[in-house]
Amino acid sequence: MSRDLILRVIGKLLIPFILLFAVYVQFHGDFGPGGGFQAGVILAAAIVFYALIFGLENARQVVPDWLVETMLACGVLIYAGVGLAGIFLGGNYLDYFVLDHDAIHGQHRGIFWVEVGVAVTVSGVMLKIFYMFASRGNLNGPEDY
């Protein structure tokens, strides 16, 4: 599809807004529909869209494989780290109440970071799955396992 002018132009126009929308869904998750999972999927969808139009190799330069694998590990660590922070600050595991002087504020802070972790892991996993399927049978691509 790399020679399709309309797709390329529209794609270039839309992808920044898709990314922005992902961020909106992420941060508005506290007050409306949304949250880390949905934001992560939208974020990954933007990259998948990019890969469909500009080719897998270009997408791999934007978001390389090592970054994808780091993302899917880091998200879980952020989530678990919030839980462990609760223990270090004198509460139970995943205790958001102790994350700030004000308990309600602590709840906000806790869920904020947990959702960040979810978004990072979900977009990482989505991209990993896409890359693995997309590079199958492609002899020139990096080895798939």
Partner 1 sequence: MSLLAHAPALQVVLPLVSAPLAVLLRHRNAAFAVVTAGAWAAFAAAIALWLQVGESGVISYHIGNWAPPWGIEYRVDRLTSFVLLLVSGMASIVLPYSRASIEREIPRELHYLYYAMFGLCLTGLLGMTITGDAFNIFVFLEISSLSTYVLIGLGRDRRALSASYRYLIMGSIGATFIVLGIGFLYLMTGTLNLADMAVRIRDIESSRPVLAALAFLTVGISLKVALFPLHQWLPNAYTYAPSAVTAFLAATATKVSVYVLIRFYFSVFGESLVFAKLPLPEIMLLLSLLGMFAANFIAIFQDNLKRLFAYSSVGQIGYITLGLSFDSFNGLAASIVHLFNHGIAKGAIFLLIGGIVAAGAKAGTGPLPLSFDRLAGLSRRMPLTCFGIVIAGLSLIGVPGTAGFVSKWYLILAAMDKGQWWLVAAILASSLLAVAYVWRFVEAAYFRPAADEVRREAPLSMLLPAWLLVLGSIWFGLDTSVTLGSALDAAQHLIGSKP
The residues that touch partner 1, with contacts defined as CB under 8 A, are 69-70, 72-77, 80, 83-84, 86-87, 90-97, 145
Angle between helices 5-28 and 103-134 (to 10 degrees): 150
CB 99 within 8 A of CB 111: no
Going by C-alpha positions, the residue among 93, 96, 76, 75 that lies closest to residue 84 is 93
Smallest gap, in angstroms, from Cβ of residue 70 to partner 1? 6
Structure tokens at 2: 């790399």
11 or 40: CB nearest partner 1: 40
CB 9 within 8 A of CB 54: no
Smallest gap, in angstroms, from Cβ of residue 91 to partner 1? 6
34 or 106: CB nearest partner 1: 106
51 or 72: CB nearest partner 1: 72
Smallest gap, in angstroms, from Cβ of residue 110 to partner 1? 8
Report how many helices (DSSP H) and strands (DSSP E) the chain contains, helices first.
5, 0
31 or 145: CB nearest partner 1: 145
